[in-house]
Structure 1
Amino acid sequence: MSIVKTASAHYQPLGKGGQGHVSLASGAMSEQPYGFNTRFEDKSGTNPEELIAGAHASCYAMALSFALADAGYDTGELKVDAAVTLEKDGDGFTVTQSALTLEAKVSGIDEDEFSSIAKDAKENCPISKLLKAEITLDYSFHN
Structure 2
Amino acid sequence: MPIRTASARWEGNLTEGSGTVKTGKGGLQGNYSFKSRFEEGEGTNPEELIAAAHSGCFSMAFSKGLADAGFTPTSVETVAKVRMDKVDGGFGVTGIELETVGDVPGIDEATFQKIAEGAKENCPISRLLSPGAPITLVAKLA
TM category (shorter chain) comes to 0.7 to 0.9
Matched residue type, 1:26: K
**1:34 paired residue number:** 32
Structure 2 unaligned spans of 5+:
133-142
> CA, structure 1 residues 112+92, in 2 after alignment: closer, same or farther (shift >3 Å)?
same
Q: 1:54 Cα shift?
A: 0.8
Q: 1:132 Cα shift?
A: 3.7
d(CA) in 2 for partners of 1:79, 1:132:
21
Which has the higher mean CA deviation after the structures are superposed, 67-76 or 78-87?
67-76
CA-atom RMSD in angstroms: 1.6
SS at match of 2:37: helix
- The superposition leaves residues 91-132 of structure 1 with CA deviations (integer Å, 9 ceiling, x where unpaired) of 210101110001112111111111111100000001101114
d(CA) in 2 for partners of 1:99, 1:126:
16
Quote the sequence identity (%): 45
Instruction: Determine if contact 2:76/2:103 at 8 Å carries over to the other structure.
Output: yes
Q: 1:75 Cα shift?
A: 4.0
- The superposition leaves residues 54-85 of structure 1 with CA deviations (integer Å, 9 ceiling, x where unpaired) of 11111100100011111111143211111110
d(CA) in 1 for partners of 2:113, 2:49:
27
What pairs with 1:83-122 in structure 2 (closer than 5 Å)?
83-122=81-120
SS at match of 2:125: helix
TM-score normalised by the chain length of structure 1 = 0.85
**2:51 paired residue number:** 53
Which of the two has higher C-alpha Rg? 1
d(CA) in 2 for partners of 1:127, 1:54:
10
Which has the higher mean CA deviation after the structures are superposed, 59-68 or 16-25?
16-25
What pairs with 1:8-27 in structure 2 (closer than 5 Å)?
8-27=7-26
Instruction: Determine if contact 2:66/2:73 at 8 Å carries over to the other structure.
Output: no
Tell me, yes or no, if structure 1 residue 43 matches structure 2 residue 41.
Answer: yes
Q: 1:37 Cα shift?
A: 1.1
Instruction: Determine if contact 2:8/2:19 at 8 Å carries over to the other structure.
Output: yes
Which is richer in strand? 2
d(CA) in 2 for partners of 1:6, 1:129:
19
SS at match of 1:5: coil
d(CA) in 2 for partners of 1:75, 1:41:
37
d(CA) in 1 for partners of 2:17, 2:89:
19
